Amino acid sequence: MKMHRGRIAAAALFLGCAAASAYAQGSATDEIARYRAMLADGNPAELVVARGEELWKTRRGAKNVSLEQCDFGLGAGVLKGAYAQMPRYFADADQVMDFESRLVWCMVNLQGMDRAAVTKNPYSGAGQRQTDLEALTAYGVEMSRGIPVNVPQSHPKERAAYDRGRYAFYMRGGPYDFSCATCHGVTGQRIRLQDLPNIAGNKPDADRAFTTWPAYRVSQGALRTMQWRLNDCFRQQRFPDLVFLSPTSVDLITFLGVNANGAKMDAPAIKR
Amino acid sequence: MNRSRRNFVQAGGVLGLMVATGLITAEEARAQQQAWNKAAFEAKSLDETIKALGGTGTAQSADITLTAPDIAENGAVVPVAVASKIPNTQSIYILVEKNPNALAAGFGIPAGTDASIATRIKMGQTSNVHAVVKADNKFYVATKEVKVTLGGCGG
Amino acid sequence: MPDPMRIRATEQPDGVDVRVLMSHEMETGQRRDSAGAIVPAWFIQTVVVSYAGKPVLNAEWGPAVAKNPYLQFKFKGGKKGEKISITWVDNRGETRTDEATIG
């Protein structure tokens, strides 16, 4: 368990517990771990995955084809294991793409959908049904469950994406002068009762950061994707909007993915 | 609606729901809605709820096992499990003391079904959770406090 | 048409273990939308699980059951290969029935 300076005092204050020794360091963390374990069975993400699978296999768009022939880097029609080896370079698009970018690319090029329409509202709002993109991504990542992350760095553009992603991770900006690293580049930090993983410096944290997204976010009441997660980080940092599928988003995902290489995908997960 | 077989059974106990196999008609759906115990779900406190359920009070029981986390990271989804060793358990109810209305869920346990339920409830704030069991038309209760935290980044 | 439930029913030595995930908003009626208006309550009120034409569980729910409800319980006498049926009805009168084979 990590050492948390000040945790005893903070936990005691928060829990209104006079006997600080009753809530020794790490006990709140243990309880939260227990809460998470109790939620592990019966992930509502299964409902979204089921819908995603159905959408995947449905003929849609102007060309009236399904997504089944989409090439995610392992060959046309191969979805199993695809998410675990993305982002990667695609010659036909001459760019590095993460899963969500490639999904949209196939919806546009294979199925004949309009890109602007597809990407207009990628995330569902409170009380709204999950979007098609969320459902399709949920299904896509489910098909990589248990498969080791293997984000390639063989193509020069893949390496460039990683480098830019790392630069973006450490770049300070916005009114708080935050970078991703401010919260996630240090071990032992916490916001309220939330432990902040050190996803740049601690391999297990880096692994979890990549392998457990997309996830059903209980506080959102919805399944959220990696693109959403980064967009929400930018929002909390008071950065400008991280545009859906932007090069920076793909660069950051490349950085996170490569840092998690070797770890087994475990998504969709369930989170607070 | 197309239905091959119909079989209505008046379920016993306080809940008294109509049950059908296969698809149900709009009429049946309306009947189930009407059977829903509005008074119990609109009661505010544990005592009011017990009255609406036809009881006068509750007795503490060590034969009710209430499993819930000490700390729920998010009040929107709190896993709760209740197991009753009290003979002739008819129903299990889950109440959250500080919710706008205490009663979250009630379960009628027919003979042959384990008196043991797991589900997930919403809690508006840190509160006592009461597991109430109706057995032999008497009401029993076990209580546990569940602390609800705020999310880390307000989200 | 509401989304299908995910049902797992497995025969175990001490009974059939049933786990269900239902797709439902379970709106409390306390939340306000971005315009400030109350979003009306919309939640599953009754759930019935049947096996061989008889109820093996009845439930009455309020809006304090979590969104996308999860339910787990066990009943005796069920056999592998047979079906269980689950029906829910919500406060709008909408309903959904799904079946699952005991594995």
CATH number for the domain spanning A113: value is 1.10.760.10
Residue A170 lies in a domain: yes
Nearest CA in chain B to C91: B33
Based on the domain organization, do B52 and B19 belong to the same domain? no
CATH code, domain with B66: 2.60.40.2470
The 8 Å CB, 24+ separation contacts for A47-50 are: A47/C3, A47/C6, A47/C21, A47/C23, A47/C68, A48/A130, A48/A134, A48/A135, A48/A138, A48/A216, A48/A223, A48/A268, A49/A135, A49/A138, A49/A139, A49/A142, A49/A268, A50/C3, A50/C4, A50/C6
The residue-averaged pLDDT of A152-166 equals 98
A229 touches A252 (CB < 8 A):
no
Based on the domain organization, do A26 and A128 belong to the same domain? no
Based on the domain organization, do B68 and B108 belong to the same domain? yes
Residues linked to residue B92 through DSSP beta bridges, in sequence order: B107, B133
Please state, for a pLDDT cut of 90, what percent of chain A lies above it: 82
A126–C68 C-beta distance less than 8 A: no
C69–B119 C-beta distance less than 8 A: yes
How many alpha carbons fall within 13 Å on the CB side of residue A232?
13
The whole-angstrom separation of Cα A38 and Cα C101 is 26
The whole-angstrom separation of Cα A92 and Cα A108 is 13
C59–B22 C-beta distance less than 8 A: no
| Pairing of β A215-217 and β A269-271 | parallel
Based on the domain organization, do A133 and A35 belong to the same domain? no
Q: Which residues lie closer than 8 Å to A14 by C-beta, 6 or more apart?
A: A192, A193, B149
A56 touches A68 (CB < 8 A):
yes
The gap between the terminal CA atoms of chain B, to the nearest Å, is 43
Based on the domain organization, do A121 and A13 belong to the same domain? no
Based on the domain organization, do A164 and A187 belong to the same domain? yes
B70–A34 C-beta distance less than 8 A: yes
Based on the domain organization, do A172 and A218 belong to the same domain? yes
Nearest to A191 among B73, B74, B153 (CB): B153
Residue B49 lies in a domain: yes
B73-82, pLDDT tens digit by residue? 899 999 999 9
Contacts of C83 in chain B (CB under 8 A): none
Contacts of C25 in chain A (CB under 8 A): 127
Least confident of A35-44, A240-249, B129-138: A35-44
Residue B154 lies in a domain: no
The total number of structural domains that make up chain B: 2
Partner chains of A (3+ C-beta pairs under 8 Å): B, C
Q: Burial of C82 by CB count in 10 Å (0-12 exposed, 13-18 middle, 19+ buried)?
A: middle
- The shortest C-alpha distance from B130 to chain C (Å) reads 14
The 8 Å CB, 24+ separation contacts for A27-34 are: A28/A193, A28/B71, A29/A1, A29/A2, A29/A4, A29/A195, A30/A1, A31/B69, A31/B70, A31/B71, A32/A193, A32/B71, A32/B73, A32/B149, A34/B69, A34/B70
B86-126, pLDDT tens digit by residue? 999 999 999 999 999 999 999 999 999 999 999 999 999 99
Encoded tokens for A114: 């309009």
Q: Which domain holds residue B58?
A: 44-148
Complex prediction ipTM: 0.96
CB of A189 within 8 Å of a chain B CB? The answer is no
Of B98 and B5, the structure prediction assigns the larger pLDDT to B98
The whole-angstrom separation of Cα C46 and Cα B134 is 19
Q: Residue B38, Cβ neighbours under 10 Å: how many?
A: 14
Based on the domain organization, do B51 and B113 belong to the same domain? yes
The whole-angstrom separation of Cα C57 and Cα C20 is 12
- The shortest C-alpha distance from A220 to chain C (Å) reads 10
| Active-site residue flag, A183 | no
A126–C4 C-beta distance less than 8 A: no
In the three-class reduction of DSSP (H, G, I as helix; E, B as strand; rest coil), residue C94 is classed as: coil
Based on the domain organization, do B14 and B64 belong to the same domain? no
Q: Which residues lie closer than 8 Å to A125 by C-beta, 6 or more apart?
A: none
pLDDT above 60 for A201: yes
CB of A176 within 8 Å of a chain B CB? The answer is no
Based on the domain organization, do B21 and B63 belong to the same domain? no
Q: Of these residues, A17, A70, A180, A233, which one is catalytic?
A: A233
Count of all residues that appear for chain A in the document: 272
pLDDT above 80 for C8: yes
A245 touches A191 (CB < 8 A):
no
> What sign for the dihedral angle of Cα B94, B68, B146, C5?
negative
Q: What is the pLDDT of residue A44?
A: 96
C28–B122 C-beta distance less than 8 A: yes
Based on the domain organization, do A180 and A53 belong to the same domain? yes
Of A14 and C39, the structure prediction assigns the larger pLDDT to C39
Based on the domain organization, do B68 and B104 belong to the same domain? yes
Given pLDDT bands bounded at 50, 70 and 90, which one contains residue A21?
very low
Q: What is the pLDDT of residue B23?
A: 58
Based on the domain organization, do A249 and A172 belong to the same domain? yes
Nearest to A46 among C6, C25, C27 (CB): C6
The whole-angstrom separation of Cα B134 and Cα B152 is 39
Q: Which domain holds residue A258?
A: 45-271
Based on the domain organization, do A133 and A22 belong to the same domain? no
Based on the domain organization, do A25 and A150 belong to the same domain? no
Residue A2 lies in a domain: no
Contacts of A126 in chain C (CB under 8 A): 31, 33
Partner chains of B (3+ C-beta pairs under 8 Å): A, C
Domain ranges, ordered by start, for chain C: 6-101
Based on the domain organization, do B88 and B56 belong to the same domain? yes
pLDDT above 90 for C62: yes
The total number of structural domains that make up chain A: 2
Fold of C6-101: Immunoglobulin-like (2.60.40)
Residue B153 lies in a domain: no
Residue A1 lies in a domain: no
Based on the domain organization, do A182 and A53 belong to the same domain? yes
C contact test, residue of B8, B9, B19, B67 with most C CBs within 10 A:
B19
Question: From its phi and psi, is residue A262 left (phi > 0), alpha (psi between -120 and 50) or beta?
Answer: left
Based on the domain organization, do B86 and B65 belong to the same domain? yes
Based on the domain organization, do A101 and A32 belong to the same domain? no
